[in-house]
Amino acid sequence: MMPRPPTPPGRAPRIMLYSHDTFGLGHLRRSRALAEAITRANPEASALILTGSPVAGRFTFPPRVDHVRLPGVTKLRDGSYESQTMGLDIDQTTDLRAGLIKATAEQYDPDILIVDKEPTGFRGELLPTLDLLADQGRAKMVLGLRDVLDEPEVLAVEWDRKGGIAATETFYDELWIYGLHSIYDPTAGLNLSAAVRARMHWTGYLRRSVGSTAAPPKQPYILVTPGGGGDGQAMVDLVLSAYEQDPDLNPRAILVYGPFLSGDTRVDFETRVAKLNGRVTAVGFESQIETLFAGAHGVVSMGGYNTFCEVLSFDKRAVIVPRTVPRLEQYIRASRAEGLGLVRMLDETRDGMTVQAMIRAIRALPGQPLPSQAFGEGLLDGLDYVTRRVAALLAKQAEQAAE
């Protein structure tokens, strides 16, 4: 393929973000936060998010940010996938997604592509687009990694199987790690070259802010959130059992189920909530959950990346109940954060995943230090760092076009 001509003079920058999103909300919410920060910092730039999230349409997007919804797939508890697209198997769905991604890249013609977590995309679906952009030789490509991916040994095997090392070495101009090296290195187990490691940037965590002018609910309350909710049944059950067994447990709790906690489980939880006479109230999905974080006296949550960023951003005392399957990501993050004094973790081995353990954890929340008391500056500089890197990449691209 012939290289694509330089960007026409005066064309506004275009940023494309790929977020494979097969389960939960994490990848889409991270991409949305990045797109908003980039377009706010550069009023001429636009951003387009490619996402497989089934709830993408329930989010609002800021001006000059839009999304393309890819056909959905579901991640099963054993780590395998199944298609949500009627009449197509997983291979056919992957081919369809790959074609849509490549066609979007051809038409949108991004100046920068930011890929979330998966160097080759879901089941390799991003490779045709990476080849296209590399052949054209103009777009800058960035791989963005959250602070924790998985156990180093497990991650090394996974990246080897998926061709992640080869893709990272071949295609990506920079790697952005949305955390701090002093807290955790998600690439520690990966056999990356010195050249790739020299292109790494540790951004800090991605600060969140209240995007809505709505007032928080009547205080005091603690916020209970299992994130997307698809794997949050055990945590929600523990919290409800704590309020059921201890009639003096306070303050009241606001429970956000998440869009993926549904069906008979959700109906059962709703029945239990109704019997607690206002000591626990619940909503299904809150796209502006930052408002609830801002007003909360404490948080009980799972240990996903976005929830952790919100705990830090709003400086909330938190009890983290991490999942341990199919990845140890949440457990690793929570244990490191607890060791630094940022949060308290409910550890199944140490504390017991019991109702009494949850009662004690909620009662102890007011006595915990605030995250800001445990860690200094730089912790939440991620969005500012990213916008500086975007500006630097655009400037480098302009210099190369002028040569």
Q: What's the DSSP call for residue 139?
A: S
pLDDT tens, residue order, the chain (403 aa)? 545 555 666 799 999 999 986 655 678 889 999 999 999 999 999 999 999 888 777 788 999 999 999 998 877 666 677 888 778 998 999 999 999 999 999 999 999 999 999 999 999 999 999 999 999 999 999 999 999 999 999 999 999 999 999 999 999 999 999 999 999 999 999 999 999 999 999 999 999 988 766 788 889 999 999 877 678 899 999 999 999 999 999 999 999 988 777 788 899 999 999 999 999 999 887 667 889 999 999 999 999 999 999 999 999 999 999 988 888 999 999 999 999 999 999 998 999 899 999 999 999 999 999 999 998 788 999 999 999 999 999 999 988 888 7
Asked if 118 contacts 50 with a C-beta cutoff of 8 angstroms, the reply is: no
**Identical fold at 14-207+381-402 and 221-374?**
yes
The CATH-assigned architecture of domain 221-374 is 3-Layer(aba) Sandwich (3.40)
Computed over its alpha carbons, how large is the radius of gyration of the chain? 22
Domain borders along the chain are 14-207+381-402, 221-374
Task: Name the CA dihedral angle for 110, 113, 114, 116, rounded to a multiple of 10 degrees.
Answer: 110
CB atoms within 10 A of CB 86: 6
Asked if 20 contacts 27 with a C-beta cutoff of 8 angstroms, the reply is: yes
Name the residue among 386, 383, 384, 379 with its Cα closest to residue 183.
379
Report residue 95 as tokens: 């081919």
Q: According to DSSP H, which parts of 42-120 are helical? A: 90-108
- Integer Cα distance of 258 and 267 in angstroms: 14
Task: Name the CA dihedral angle for 398, 400, 402, 403, rounded to a multiple of 10 degrees.
Answer: 170
Secondary structure element (H or E) that encloses residue 359, with its range: helix 355-364
Task: Write down the pLDDT at residue 2.
Answer: 47
CATH class, domain 14-207+381-402, is: alpha beta
